[in-house]
Structure 1
Amino acid sequence: MTDIGLPLARTRGYDLAGLARSAARTLAPPAVAFLLLIGGWELVSRSGVVSTRLLPAPSLVYATLTRSLDVLLEQAQPTFWGAVAGIAAAALLGIALGLAVSYSATLMRMVYPTIIFFQLIPKVALAPVFLLWFGTGFVANVTFSVFIAFFPVLVATITGLQAAPPSYERLCRSLMMARPRMFLTVKLPFALPHIFAGLRIGVTFAVIGVVLGEFITAQTGLGYIILFSANNFETALLLAAILLLCGVGIVLFAFFLALEAVVIRLYDSR
């Protein structure tokens, strides 16, 4: 028993050591690059080569962030929930329309070119139109967010539903498998990674859409704080708001990464 147990213990220790070395190799280069960037930025700002109003030191940005954290967190709430509502609506619309056009060639020819046409229009140019249609405030920001985040989810869904090998589909048809069962057993497993990839891209676009809407229409939100800070040359507050905005994007991106892992694990366990 001892002889059997010792190799397992050594193997586990070796695996843990290997994971630690792999994590160190993965994390060390970006960590070193980040520290060099922050250190160089601090030195340049403190040297007086660039005005602190244009490029405040990271230490000043951090001090501003901690001093104004309560206000920034309050302003981050409409931005966060606007992005959540935007990506949720974009996911529902994109996945539903992707399913519809994937199973109907006629609908694909009717709808897809129109969507491509609207996607090619610069989004900022349509912001005044959304302002006229939806007014100012939360609804306008969410609508603009959905408009930007919708397309990558749609394309990823269509691509994913076409990713199953044709031989798998021929086998299902030869077995006279019903289309709903073929979708659940063949098409959906191949489509899920693509759909979640589209959602991860879409969530970044949703945050961008909300911020663009806040630039134009809102009186609250991190986008409004960024615009207000730029107009008043409060660069430290501007960078602090951008830093918190990055945090909002990272939280939402991480949520979809975790959701993908849970959904795929649950689906594979069936």
Structure 2
Amino acid sequence: MQTVIIAIVVLAALGAIFGLVLAFAAKAFAVEKDPREEAIAEVLPGANCGGCGFPGCGGYAAAVAAGKAPVNACAAGGAAVAAKIGEIMGVAAGDSVKKLAQVHCTGCGQNYKKYEYVGLHDCVAASLLPGGGELGCAYGCLGLGSCEKACPFDAIHVVEGVAQVDEDKCKSCGKCVDVCPKHIIALVPYKTRRHVAIRCSSHDKGPDVRKNCDNGCIGCTLCAKSCPKEAISMIDNLAVIDYDKCIGCGICAQKCPRKLITVDGKVPEPKPAAPKPAAPKAEAKTEQAPKAETAPAAASEEN
């Protein structure tokens, strides 16, 4: 019994000694933390999405406090969080262009499959098979939801075989962009009065596109020719929008024969042709009867 008591006392003494040593070491080797870092971390949304380019909100807060990151890089927080961080850092948040994840595919290549894929319900796994997957189009959305699983904001879902973005939920974190094995998702500026998107990624020539998709870009150039701001150019058989020039007029979408250009997520209905002005009616000409000539009356004088 005495041995047990001695052992307990020794352990308690050792615990106290080690505790004092650790307390001293914590103070002696403590790294001073910038109080602004904690303040920034408190205003961040805590999504840890990595859209800012740093490992989580804590990493971003430390980078901002150290002057290594801008105050408006939090995609999830947006302008409101940027303004708060700017106040903490004593700088102006500045204007940041809102971005949106955009899927450059309509999913109409699902009707042209080379074989039936049976395996993990994952785009990355399917893309490792010969030909990059079961679709005839090498640039088409596989529709197995790798992007959907990666999104921390529940902003992208596979609908009828193709990924679609919920614009209200998207925080432009870029997770879907990174995980897509086909590289058909991109972050694009969302600043025009109406958002125009070309939903195709195929660089194949027109005849090959027609074989593998119902409405892929065939490189006809009608959209580029009709754009009043020259905001569309053809790059390797594919129409591409320059969002610095685009004004969201939607003329390109109306001219596209394949109906793959959308405005605010929809294909606009073609405007009805203006009615031609009616030809002016010809005035009826009325012929007037010639006036009868009257011979001068001869006056007869009686002598």
TM category, shorter: under 0.3
Structure whose residues are more often strand by fraction: 2
Q: When you count helix as a share of all residues, which structure comes out higher?
A: 1
Q: Which has the larger radius of gyration?
A: 2
**TM-score, length of structure 1 as denominator length:** 0.23
